[in-house]
Each structure stands twice: as structure tokens, then as C-alpha cells.
Amino acid sequence: MKNLTFSNGDVMPILGLGTWKSKPGEVYQAVLWAIEAGYRHIDCAAIYNNETEVGKALNKAFSDGLVKREDLFITSKLWNDCHRKEDVKKGLLKSLKDLQLEYLDLYLIHWPISFKKGVGFAESREQFYTYSDVPIGQTWQGMQGVKSEGLVKHIGMSNFNIAKLKEVIAVGGNGPEMNQVEMHPYLRQECLVDFCQSNGILMTAYSPLGSGDRSSSIKKDDEPNLFEDVVIKKLAEKYSITPAQVLISFSIHRGIAVIPKSVNQERIKQNLAATEVELKKEDMDQLLKIEKQYRFIDGTFFTGSHSPYQLSDLWEL
């Protein structure tokens, strides 16, 4: 499998198993199936509320000799209520305990949004911190600290736009090594990709298949279906593969890591097989020229009259 390489020479498999929306009772088996199939990259987060079960699966894989810890690349993410410098390590230690690990390969600030300690999802203005209360630079200093302690090998962020990345870079010291954002042919993020690549920041694409199984509370009735796109369907037919495999291969051909989620054994294998798909230049050109543009995870659950944040704090608008 193709890898992405960090500045110190460490590598991350370009395809990983996403665990967002994987329910307790399902994610344990999904992680084991993925490791058995050949996955060596698992993407997690505290707010997914399933890291304890992921940890049990990892422990079983290690104890059964399926894989060694050093052969796996494990990512987790700092939730919004741990953005104060003194809380970053606390958030990390909770994930390490749940995952039954001594270190993470990659730790990300999940969102550039701060909640007060103990808040899962802020529902009132009083539950938020502002950038004046907790500057992003303070959170980044906390991230630098856990890296210097050896608790994580690499640090970065998720859902950060160019302006917020510049704030982090300006802190100095260890800079961001990864930015994980929604990416697919309907949201190609060209400007953000160019900025990250020119600043030595690797990228990971989440929701590469459109995240059609997410909660109806954060979906729109008229949202498009990537699997039904004419260009994507024609390429799937051309290579006798699934639309999902076209979409996964799209990110891989851009040199961007991709983390499709599945708890179905056959689809887990199909997603892995997408690493062998060879799209031609003319195929990529077609995908890069699709006119339809759509963001599935629009971030509006963090904005509005109850919040001090705006969509411009999240995205390139």
C-alpha cells in the first residue's frame, strides 16, 4: 500500500479505517476485520464515543498476534472541551486509556471551536469559549507539549481553514503535520490543498463517500448522492469497480490519505482493494472538473445565535 511520509521519515498508510458513526457492538468487529484484511491505519476520536471498544479490538489483535503495535498507525482527536493548554494532556490521556495504548501516532485538534470543560455539544452561549478566552495558539502549545513528552508522534488538526492554519504556524516550534478535512469530487478543496502542500502539511480526506449514513439531524433532504454522479458511475463501469472504490482512489491519486468508514466485512475489503485501482490522467481530469459542489458536513451545528463562532471560522468561504 502507498504511504504518506512525514518530515522525520515516519510513514502513514494512505488508506485507513474510519470509525466515525461506527456503533458500539459493531466497531469492535469492524476493526478486527480491517486488521485481518490488511489495514494498518485506524482513525479514531474521543467524541465518536467508541474508543473503549476500539481499544478492546486493538488489544485482542495484539494479544492474538495479528499485528504488532509498531505496525499500526493510530489517530485520535482532541475534543472541543479540552482546548485550554492544561486540558490537552487530560484529553489525550483519556483516549490513550480507552484505546489501551501508550502513545498515538497522530493526534489532531478536532475542530477550531472551544467548549467549556465537560461539554459534549454546546447548546447555549454560556457553554462556549471564544478565541479571546482560549486562543488557538494556546491549544497548539498544549499539543506541542504532549508531542515533546513522547505521548504522540505527530500532531495536527481537523477542519482548519487557511487562516486558522496560519495562526498555528505563527506559534512557532513544532508546526502542524496533518489537516483532516472533508474531501471528495464535490469538495476538492484546491486552495486548502495547495496551502497545506506548500507548507509541508499532509492531508486526510474524511467523508470521502458522502457520509450518507450520518444522523438525519445533520443532513439536508435534497443533498446529492456521490454514488449516483454520472462521471463517477461511468468510471466505476469502465474499471468494473464500485463507485466507492472510484471515490477512494480519487483521494489516493491526489496524494491525500483517505479514511472510509464501514462495519461491513465485504465493503471493508472492497475499500482496501481501491488502493490497487489505477485511474488514468483523463479519469482524474474528469473528476476534478465535476461542476457540482457540495459540503456534506457544513458545520452549522457549531454556529448560529447560540454560538460566538461563524462558518468563516471553519471554511474557505
User: In degrees rounded to 5, what are phi and psi of residue 254?
Assistant: -90, 0
Residue count of the chain, please give it. Answer: 317
Q: Which residue has the cell 483516549?
A: 95
> The pTM is what?
0.96
| Domains, in order of start, for the chain | 3-214+225-310 (3.20.20.100)
Whether the CB-CB separation of 83 and 129 falls below 8 Å is answered with yes
Q: Specify the pLDDT at position 218.
A: 66
Q: Specify the pLDDT at position 107.
A: 98
**β-pair partners for 74:** 42
Active site residue 48: yes
Q: Specify the pLDDT at position 288.
A: 97
Q: Let me know if 224 is exposed, middle or buried by CB neighbors in 10 A (0-12, 13-18, 19+).
A: middle
Walking along the chain (317 residues) 10 residues at a time, the average pLDDT comes out as 96 97 90 98 97 97 98 98 98 98 98 97 97 98 98 98 97 97 98 98 97 67 92 98 98 98 96 97 98 94 95 90
CA distances from 106 to 39, 74, 115, 150, 196 (A): 16, 6, 22, 11, 17
CA 167, 304, 306 angle in degrees (round to 5)?
A: 100
**Alpha-carbon gap, residue 269 to 14, rounded angstroms:** 15
Q: What is the 3-state secondary structure (H, E, C) of the chain?
A: CCEEECCCCCEEECECEECCCCCCCCHHHHHHHHHHHCCCEEECCHHHCCHHHHHHHHHHHHHCCCCCHHHCEEEEEECHHHCCHHHHHHHHHHHHHHHCCCCEEEEEECCCCEECCCCCCCCCHHHEECCCCCCHHHHHHHHHHHHHCCCEEEEEEECCCHHHHHHHHHCCCCCCCEEEEECECCECCHHHHHHHHHCCCEEEEECCCCCCCCCHHHCCCCCCCHHHCHHHHHHHHHHCCCHHHHHHHHHHHCCCEECCECCCHHHHHHHHHHHHCCCCHHHHHHHHCCCCCCCCCCCHHHCCCCCCCCHHHCCCC
CA quadruple 285, 290, 291, 293: dihedral positive or negative?
negative
Q: Specify the pLDDT at position 12.
A: 98
Q: Specify the pLDDT at position 21.
A: 84
CA distances from 112 to 91, 95, 109, 151, 282 (A): 15, 19, 7, 22, 37
Active-site entry in 48, 107, 129, 206: 48
**Alpha-carbon gap, residue 160 to 112, rounded angstroms:** 6
